Amino acid sequence: MKRATRLLLLKTLALFSVVRWWNIVLLIAAQYLTAIFVLNDPAHFLNTIADPLLHFLVLSTGLVVASGFIINNFYDKEKDLVNRPKQTAFELMLSQPTALNLYLLFNLLALVISAGISFRAVLFFTAYALSLWLYSHKVKKLPVVANVIKALLTFVPFFAVFIYYKIPHWGLASYAFFLFTLELGRALVKDVVFLKGDVIYNYPTVPVLTGRMGLKRHLMAINLSGWAFVFAIFYHSLPLSPLLASYLLCCMLLQSMTAVMLSRWLGKPQKAYWLHNLYKAILIVGIGLLPFL
């Protein structure tokens, strides 16, 4: 393999790492599963998939989310060199000017593609792209608020399909907000894992500002919110699949355990890291269970 080809391949892999391709794949899967199994009749699977506007919506979502990860990576570069030095060093193969050009290109393509859906879609993705930039540039250093806004921005694209079909589904909305509480829990676990970089670069995260007891209180509040959405899911989606019901209860048990364990692991990122991966796994399972809603 020629040197130029090898370098291009490495830069492409670095780009995939920067845009967190696995998160985008999960989001796209969530949108398709929601469209096919929740908001439409699964028996009409081919009709749903044959809708080009659905694919435009999903593609626009993927491009805007990818641009969000690029700009977030741009602002977090120094901190990431402390928290995850090897991965960040590899991602630096993608030069800063190239990354920023791709950021603008992805957003422009998303807006052009969304124009094929509707003017409302253009406004939606414009507002979403601006929100992602504002979060990375300003909001990220606001204590507590940053975690909530980040979790909301993670699930806003999930509602894009919901809005597109204009079909009210309170069970789906409750389930989405339940996953939102899991994402909030995951974000606090991540703050413990990356505590060192946050302290060095003065990021006022919950663990940095409040210590063990404050962290525990925040996790307990998230846990109570999660229970509220679980009850809402049971109320709006009865009869509920036994598989989905078991998943919800296991997640709430995990949230309860996290409030106890994580406060003890403050300053021990190695122990919190496996919990962070566990949260990722249960979010993946939660997306996979959308057809059972």
Q: What is the pLDDT of residues 154-195, one digit of tens each?
A: 888 877 887 788 777 788 888 988 998 998 888 888 888 888
Q: Whole domain around residue 38: which residue ranges?
A: 8-165
Tally: H helices and E strands in the chain: 14, 0
Residues 267, 146 share a domain: no
Length of the chain: 293
Rounded Cα distance between 130 and 58, Å, is 18
The confidence score (pLDDT) of residue 214 equals 78
Enter the tokens of residue 194: 């990356």
**How crowded is residue 8: how many other Cβ atoms within 10 Å of its Cβ?**
11
Residues 279, 228 share a domain: yes
**pTM of the complete model beyond 0.75:** yes
Rounded Cα distance between 2 and 191, Å, is 41
Choose among 160, 157, 156: nearest CA to 120: 160
- Mean pLDDT (the chain, rounded): 87
Work out the average pLDDT over 202-217.
Answer: 78
Q: Domain for residue 2, yes or no?
A: no
Band the pLDDT of 267: cuts 50, 70, 90. Answer: low
**CATH number, domain at 203?**
1.20.120
**Predicted confidence (pLDDT) at residue 143 exceeds the cutoff of 70:** yes
Q: Domain for residue 1, yes or no?
A: no
Rounded Cα distance between 33 and 27, Å, is 10
Q: Domain for residue 156, yes or no?
A: yes
Residues 188, 109 share a domain: no
Q: Is 258 helix (H, G, I), strand (E, B) or coil?
A: helix
Rounded Cα distance between 248 and 146, Å, is 26
CA atoms within 13 A on the CB side of 92: 12
Q: What angle do CA 99, 100, 101 make, to 5 degrees?
A: 90
Residue with token string 């009210």: 168
Band the pLDDT of 220: cuts 50, 70, 90. Answer: confident
Residues 121, 221 share a domain: no
**Predicted confidence (pLDDT) at residue 145 exceeds the cutoff of 80:** yes
**Predicted confidence (pLDDT) at residue 211 exceeds the cutoff of 90:** no
At 102-142, the pLDDT tens digits run 999 999 999 999 999 999 899 999 999 999 999 988 888 78
Q: Domain for residue 101, yes or no?
A: yes
Enter the tokens of residue 109: 């393509």
Work out the average pLDDT over 73-80.
Answer: 85
The confidence score (pLDDT) of residue 244 equals 92
Rounded Cα distance between 74 and 92, Å, is 10
Q: Domain for residue 214, yes or no?
A: yes
Work out the average pLDDT over 21-31.
Answer: 91
**Predicted confidence (pLDDT) at residue 275 exceeds the cutoff of 90:** no
> Under a CB-based contact definition with an 8 Å cutoff, are residues 170 and 236 in contact?
yes
Q: What angle do CA 151, 153, 159 make, to 5 degrees?
A: 105
The confidence score (pLDDT) of residue 1 equals 62
Single-letter residue type at 203: Y
Residue spans of alpha helices (H) in 115-241: 119-137, 145-165, 170-193, 195-200, 206-237
Q: How many domains does the chain have?
A: 2
> Under a CB-based contact definition with an 8 Å cutoff, are residues 293 and 237 in contact?
yes
**CATH number, domain at 76?**
1.10.357.140
Rounded Cα distance between 172 and 280, Å, is 20
**Predicted confidence (pLDDT) at residue 60 exceeds the cutoff of 90:** yes
